[in-house]
Amino acid sequence: MSYRCSTKSVAERNKQIDSVKKSSSEIVPPDWGTYAKTIICTHGFKHRYRGKGKRPRQEVRPMGCMTQINVCVQLVSEQPSKFAVCVSKTALTHNHKLGLRSYKHYAANRMSVNGEVLETVDSLWKAGAKTKSILKFIVENSDSNPTPQDAQNLIRNLKKRAQGGMTRSHRIKSGCWTFARFLATWVVYLWTRPTKRESQLALRSKQNTLWIYSTDSQWR
């Protein structure tokens, strides 16, 4: 079963207990980290149609499946205090078909590579390898069966990681600020010679002069 997961931290749970006066609930040790976790079927929730129905999607992930498993940390012994992870609620009936074909259809299962293969893929795209070659390498060196789009998504994520997680707009803004800081150390001069009808634009610092444009000699 492919699934989604939501969690609740111990700190959040203990804070709620402290806010309730005369609560008999035991404080969970902070070392546990996570207090509760809910595992939900990947087809849970309902799909929200944002269009007008002219071109409805043929396949959607949310199908309103109510299958879920709830687990949480509970006190199982008072003297001495002993906590354990217990299943608090289960609902195991799906409203859709189950099978190997459906399982392999999910993107997370189509693209499942280990660290070594991922590192090689990272080196391949940096060396300029085509998506088709990278897709062939993944198929031959792992149990995955990705589509060309899966390979493109993987390469896009690797590029984003290499760029520090910045989007294209953030990179443009960063470049503009860098150029602006560069210009702050220069003084802009514009020369105009009415007799010769020539104009020259330059950036001048204490040490150098950078000619940007001149009507007689173009870019320099």
Asked if residue 41 lies in contact with residue 64, where contact means CB atoms within 8 angstroms, the answer is no
Residue 53 counted as domain residue:
no
pLDDT attached to residue 22? 63
pLDDT, mean of residues 131-159: 89
Same domain, yes or no: 82 and 157 = no
Residue 132 counted as domain residue:
yes
Give me the residues paired with residue 84 across strands: 74
Same domain, yes or no: 66 and 32 = yes
- Give the residue from 201, 197, 198 showing the smallest Cα distance to 213: 201
Same domain, yes or no: 155 and 126 = yes
Q: How far is CA 209 from the centre of its chain?
A: 45
Q: Where is pLDDT greater, at 115 or 192?
A: 115
Residue 218 counted as domain residue:
no
- Percent of the chain residues topping a pLDDT of 90: 9
pLDDT beyond 50 at 220: no
pLDDT, mean of residues 118-129: 90
Tokens of 16: 């709620």
Q: Where is pLDDT greater, at 197 or 116?
A: 116
Same domain, yes or no: 93 and 114 = no
3-state secondary structure of 133: helix
Average pLDDT of every residue of the chain = 76
DSSP 37-53: EEEEETT-S-----S-S
Q: Return the top range by mean pLDDT from 29-33, 49-53, 186-190.
A: 29-33
Same domain, yes or no: 11 and 84 = yes
Which residue in this structure is represented by tokens 């969970």?
28
pLDDT beyond 80 at 49: no
Residue 160 is part of which domain span?
109-183
Q: Return the top range by mean pLDDT from 23-32, 125-134, 185-194, 206-215.
A: 125-134
Of the listed ranges 3-12, 89-98, 139-148, the one predicted with least confidence: 3-12
